[in-house]
Amino acid sequence: MTIVVAYKYAANSQDASVAPDGHVDWSRAKEAVSEYDSVAIQFARHAAAAAGGDVVGVTVGGAAAGTPNARKGALARGLDRALVLADDATSGWNATATGSALAHLVERIDGVDCVMTGDASVDEGAQMIPALIAGHLGWPCFLEVRAIDRTADGWRLVQDHQGGTRTVDVAGHVVISVATDAVEAKSPGMKDILAAGKKPSEDVALAEVQPADVTWDVVGRAPAPTQARRRELFDGADAPAELAAALKTTGVL
C-alpha cells in the first residue's frame, strides 16, 4: 500500500509585504515546505504505519523545489521517497495545469491507494489542487479530513462537516485534503535531516509531463459594485436582542 502526499515548496504569504502602490514584495519571503503540507505528511505517516505502507511525496514547482535543501526539507518530515518536477517554466502555470501534472506524477507510482494534500497552499490558499488531482485521476475527493482508517474495501474517513463531523466509507482509491489540526506536525531534528539525505528522490523532466492546456485572457476589468450601507441604531433594553436578530437576518450570524 502506498500513500502519496502532494506538497508545495513555496514562500509563506505572511512574509510578503505590500507596497503603497499595491505591489506585493516577496523578496524577504523564504521558500519552504508549508506548515499545511507538513501536517499532511505527518498524517500520511500515521496512516501508512497503521496500514503497513509507505509514503511518497510529489511536487511541481520552480527550480528551487529541486535543490538539496528543498528535498531534505520534505523527506525529513516523514516521506520515504519523492518525485520532483522542478522547473521555473511551471511558474506561469495555473492551478489546472499544476493539478494535472501532479496527477501525472501519481500515475508514475505503483500501488497508490490514497493521495493526500494539505488544507491549502501557503502562498495562494485556493484549496483547488486536491479536487483537480482527483478530477484528472477519476477518483473521489474529500476535504477537511481529520481521521482515516484502512478498511477491507478502501477507507473510512472522518470529515469536518457543517459544524461537526461525519464518517464516510469510501471504496477504492481516494484523494483527501487534511484538516489543519488533524495532527501536530513536528519539526524535523538533525537526525531526521541527516537520514533524509539518504532517502531516494526522482527527478521528472518537464518534457515527461503533459499538463492540461488551459488558456485564458483577461478581456476587461471593473471595480466591485458598491452597496449602500445599512445604518440602523438599536436602543433600549431590547437592543441586544434586536441587534442579534438583525445580524442573523443579514447572514452575519
How does residue 59 score in pLDDT terms, banded at 50, 70 and 90? very high
pLDDT at res. 137:
96
Please report whether residue 218 resides in a domain: no
- Mean pLDDT over residues 206-215, rounded? 82
pLDDT at res. 187:
86
Please report whether residue 152 resides in a domain: yes
How does residue 113 score in pLDDT terms, banded at 50, 70 and 90? very high
- Tell me the whole-structure pTM to 2 decimals: 0.79
Domains held by the chain: number:
1
Check pLDDT > 80 for residue 198: yes
pLDDT at res. 13:
66
Q: Grid coordinates representing 178?
A: 487534511
Those residues whose C-beta lies under 8 Å from the C-beta of residue 45, and which sit 6 or more positions away, are 55, 78
CA distances 132 to 56, 97, 115, Å, are 19, 9, 12
Q: What is the mean pLDDT of the chain?
A: 89
Indicate the range of 20-24, 100-104, 157-161, 219-223 predicted with least confidence: 20-24
Please report whether residue 216 resides in a domain: no
pLDDT at res. 26:
67
Indicate the range of 24-33, 79-88, 109-118, 153-162 predicted with least confidence: 24-33
Provide the domain limits for residue 153: 2-208
- Mean pLDDT over residues 58-85, rounded? 94
Please report whether residue 120 resides in a domain: yes
pLDDT of 16-28, one tens digit each?
677 777 777 767 7
Q: What is the CATH number of the domain that holds 93?
A: 3.40.50.620
Please report whether residue 228 resides in a domain: no
Share of the chain above pLDDT 90, in %: 60
Between residues 5 and 127, which one has the greater pLDDT? 5
Please report whether residue 247 resides in a domain: no
Q: How does DSSP assign 12-80, residue by residue?
A: -GGG-EE-TTS-EE-TTPPEEE-HHHHHHHHHHHHHHHHHT-EEEEEEEE-GGGGSHHHHHHHHTTT-S
Q: Are 170 and 140 in contact (CB under 8 A)?
A: yes
Please report whether residue 50 resides in a domain: yes
pLDDT of 121-165, one tens digit each?
766 767 899 999 999 999 999 999 999 999 999 999 999 988 899
Q: Residue 12 is which amino acid?
A: N
Indicate the range of 50-64, 103-117, 230-244 predicted with least confidence: 230-244
Please report whether residue 240 resides in a domain: no
